[in-house]
Amino acid sequence: MQRRLVPAMKNNSQQTTVLALALLLLCAMGQSSQAEETVRQNGKPNVLFIAIDDLNDWTGTLRGNPQAKTPHLDRLASQGMVFANAHCAAPACGPSRSAIMSGLRPSTSGNYINKSSLTHNPKLNNSVLLPEFFQQNGYYVCGAGKLFHGYHFNYEVKGRGFDEYFPSKTQDLPSFAGLKFSSKLPLGGWARQADWGPCHPDVTVDDHPDGITANWATGKLLGGELQEPFFLGAGIFQPHLPNYAPQKYFDRFPLEEIKLPEGFREDDLDDVPAAHAKMAHNPWLKRIRATKQWKPAIQAYLACTSMVDDLIGQIVGALEDSKYADNTIIVLWSDHGFQLGEKGRWGKYSLWERATRVNLVWVAPGVTQPGSVTDKPANLLDIYPTLASLTGLEPPAGQLEGNDLSVLMKNPDAAWDAATVTTFGYKNYGVRSHRYRYIVYEDGTEELYDHTQDKWEWKNLADRPEYAAIKKQMRRELPTHHEPAGVTYQVPKRKPKLR
């Protein structure tokens, strides 16, 4: 019996040992898995960086036009914090995006207009650009679409700071070649900038350059193979002119229901200094009105904004469905506003509200409170330092001139700057506080508007003696250094027009 029991006892011992080892292995695996999860949770957050070109306050979030339909943007805003009084550093693509990517004011860099070079500007070229900052700090940096100004990216930056770029590091936008049209140009081919209209019925949003960009971003997020931490930038071109979108987006805004801008007034420029006319004042509105194209042009802007909103929903939805959802900061911004007739303008290129006010939405897990809104002045210049703060990274020494918006995310009642500054051209400044907008041109002429009583900026108060103290207070916000304009580049010839 004992001879039989001994082997049996040995077998039991082996089984016990195996069982113990299995349990230890499972525990180890569980601890390893838990450790990996802890590392992921405690690691640096990812960044989803969504840029939109020429999108003004005609959104549900900013309520600039009740006809606008942007449910996806509104939903995103409800999940985080909206900076409802945010403004661009400059009302033009080139200097606005250069300021965002470098953290330097235009008055510091001398980068004032779209033709201003980035890499031939020593201050900008020697700065640590935002993609480089994340790359240097161990992030995988990828992007697609319009993040920099087109010329700056394609001919100067050439993917600097990016590990991957779509379509390539010398081409920021996907091709427009997939777009076809059923009708002629609305103004008879007068100018590419004054072109808009629905695409041929066979064309879908997937054929549109912005649809292609959004599909790329969606694929990256849902693919689950992004190296973490990552910085993923998606630059949407619309509603920048030319305003092309599939027919279904135009159908959302029947032409007979389109209303002209509430802020338009025929005599609006009567009390405005002549200096405003030097700021890239174009003849587009005059031609649009003469050819009775004002409402069709507004319809096209709203249609393209609606398409962009769908793409925002697609990209954000992909993030929410991905494994990165709980550890990714979202920042969505538009590079400046756009005037659709207000003050006789069709475009940006001014220091008035409709041209400088931007969309700026943040969703930072564990930091932003859902549905929060602040009216404290903010600037796109604040994006770089805010991202550095939220990701726990040390910003480049002595470079960034913006504010850390996470202060307001954590405490909306925190002490804050009284105003923010927009620059367009040498010594031309717009200063926006909670209540007032003050504009001063290089020649010293001024404008002052009280937004509590005059949201359309119809009544210039600058010459009234009772507002002298307010102007003095606003002037304290102006930069003390005014860098002369930097080197400009030769604009390359455009390819032949579509159609």
Strands 419-423 and 429-433 turn out to be antiparallel
Task: Please report, rounded to a whole number, the percentage of residues in the chain having pLDDT higher than 70.
Answer: 88
Q: Which sequence positions are flagged as catalytic?
A: 93, 149
Q: How far is CA 260 from CA 149, 296, 299, in A?
A: 30, 10, 10
Q: How far apart are CA 69 and CA 249, in angstroms?
A: 10
* Region 121-135 average pLDDT: 97
* Region 223-242 average pLDDT: 97
Of 18-27, 210-219, 232-241, 415-424, the poorest mean pLDDT is in: 18-27
Taking only Cα atoms into account, the Rg of the chain, rounded to an integer number of angstroms, comes to 26
The pLDDT value recorded for residue 189 is: 62
| Average pLDDT of every residue of the chain | 90
* Region 157-174 average pLDDT: 97
Q: Which residues pair with 330 in a beta bridge?
A: 48, 363
* Region 426-448 average pLDDT: 98
Which band of pLDDT confidence, cut at 50, 70 and 90, is reported for residue 208?
Answer: very high
Q: How far apart are CA 487 and CA 468, in angstroms?
A: 37
Q: Any idea what DSSP says for residue 154?
A: I
The pLDDT value recorded for residue 182 is: 78
The pLDDT value recorded for residue 181 is: 85
Q: How far apart are CA 405 and CA 82, in angstroms?
A: 11
Q: How far apart are CA 201 and CA 185, in angstroms?
A: 17
The pLDDT value recorded for residue 193 is: 62
The yes-or-no verdict on residue 6 having pLDDT over 50 is: no
In the three-class reduction of DSSP (H, G, I as helix; E, B as strand; rest coil), residue 181 is classed as strand
The pLDDT value recorded for residue 47 is: 98
> Using one digit for the tens of pLDDT, what is the confidence trace for 369-416?
999 999 999 999 999 999 999 999 999 999 999 999 999 999 999 999
Q: What are the φ/ψ torsions at residue 341 (nearest 5 degrees)? A: 125, -25
Helix, strand and coil content of the chain, in percent to the nearest 5, comes to 40, 15, 45
Among 330, 363, 281, 309, which Cα is nearest to 59's? 309
Among 316, 351, 341, which Cα is nearest to 232's? 316
